Amino acid sequence: MTDASVASAAEQILLAERAPDKRPIVKTFFDDATFTASHVVHDPETKAAAVVDSVLDYDPASGRTRYDSARKIVQYVRENDLNVIWQLETHAHADHLSAAPWLQEQIGGKLGIGADITRVQNVFGKIFNAGTSFARDGSQFDHLFHDGDRFQIGSLNAISLHVPGHTPADMAFVIGDAAFIGDTLFMPDYGTARADFPGGDARTLYHSIRRLLSLPEQTRLFLCHDYKAPGRSEFAWETTVGAERRHNIHVHDGVPEEDFVSMRTKRDATLSLPNLIMPSVQINMRGGHMPEPEENGVSYIKIPVNTL
Ligand SMILES: [Fe+2]
């Protein structure tokens, strides 16, 4: 599909599902250790559900994982009798570990990510010298989404949009009148995601954002992170296309591409790497699985010295 026909397919879904009874129900779980918003979206009619961007708790000092955050999702799914058919990742996150494999064991769902995850696997497979046992074909995931793929969550129509820039493989999932847009836009008062990770690109991010902002104004947008803008006391993770177009401090309507690229590039140069980038990338590029255990049965996470 061309860019325009994908956008209009997404628009058709949104227009068809503006009726209140077709609105997906979204419950968000916010992890304030990594500032990540995980979402459970479901169809009220059939109880079919998808989990978007789950978090596995990780303590870097001890190298231990915990399931406290993921357990809250399991509890919510069971209490509401939801039938989880997808575990969706908007991208390979660099700031938290995915709990998708553990959640699959508890509540099911096929694990899906953007097809260009293979590019991310190639780049980070080299950086971490992951060896030949690390497949770089996306086979750790159950499904690879392409731009314009249509799918169903119960009676809700959904479409995947390729929105690269933050990483080469970012996807947005438009489900009914709600779009799960990962790390592209943040809340209007905070701006946009960084574009300086390997394979990231500010200009590409600008185009992906403009594409998301071409969705109907009332589209609900669900973000992957919030860091509380200065002056705001509560975390927030939901906004609309209209609010972003009017108020986003980096990329509201009228901000020229060149201005955005220069702002984003300058700002990225001041940012330090996320605390959990080393474990996050090595685990998330493997679909949330730990690296192959060594002969003693223990999995290790590597730190490349003077590389990143
Ligand atoms: Fe990210």
How many whole angstroms separate alpha carbon 119 and alpha carbon 169?
A: 8
Q: What is the pLDDT of residue 288?
A: 98
How many whole angstroms separate alpha carbon 46 and alpha carbon 153?
A: 9
**Ligand 1 mean position to 95 CA, how many Å?**
7
Q: Is the pLDDT of residue 267 over 90?
A: yes
For range 2-6, the mean pLDDT: 59
Q: What is the pLDDT of residue 277?
A: 96
How many whole angstroms separate alpha carbon 258 and alpha carbon 279?
A: 34
pLDDT band for 5, please (50, 70, 90 cuts).
Answer: low
Detail the DSSP E strand segments found in the chain.
25-31, 36-42, 48-52, 57-59, 64-66, 83-88, 110-114, 143-145, 150-153, 156-162, 171-175, 178-180, 220-222, 238-240
Structure confidence by residue, pLDDT tens digits, 7-22: 566 666 655 555 555 7
Q: Is 66 helix (H, G, I), strand (E, B) or coil?
A: strand
- The mean pLDDT value of the chain amounts to 94
The domains found in the chain, sorted by start residue, are 3-284 (3.60.15.10)
Q: What are phi and psi of 81, to 5 degrees?
A: 60, 40
**Ligand 1 mean position to 93 CA, how many Å?**
4
**Ligand 1 mean position to 213 CA, how many Å?**
19
**Ligand 1 mean position to 158 CA, how many Å?**
22
Structure confidence by residue, pLDDT tens digits, 93-141: 999 999 999 999 999 999 999 999 999 999 999 999 999 999 999 999 9
How remote is the C-alpha of 212 from its chain's centroid? 14
Q: Is 181 left (phi over 0), alpha (psi -120 to 50) or beta?
A: alpha
How many whole angstroms separate alpha carbon 142 and alpha carbon 150?
A: 16
pLDDT band for 308, please (50, 70, 90 cuts).
Answer: confident
Number of Cβ within a 10 Å radius of residue 265: 14
**Ligand 1 mean position to 295 CA, how many Å?**
33
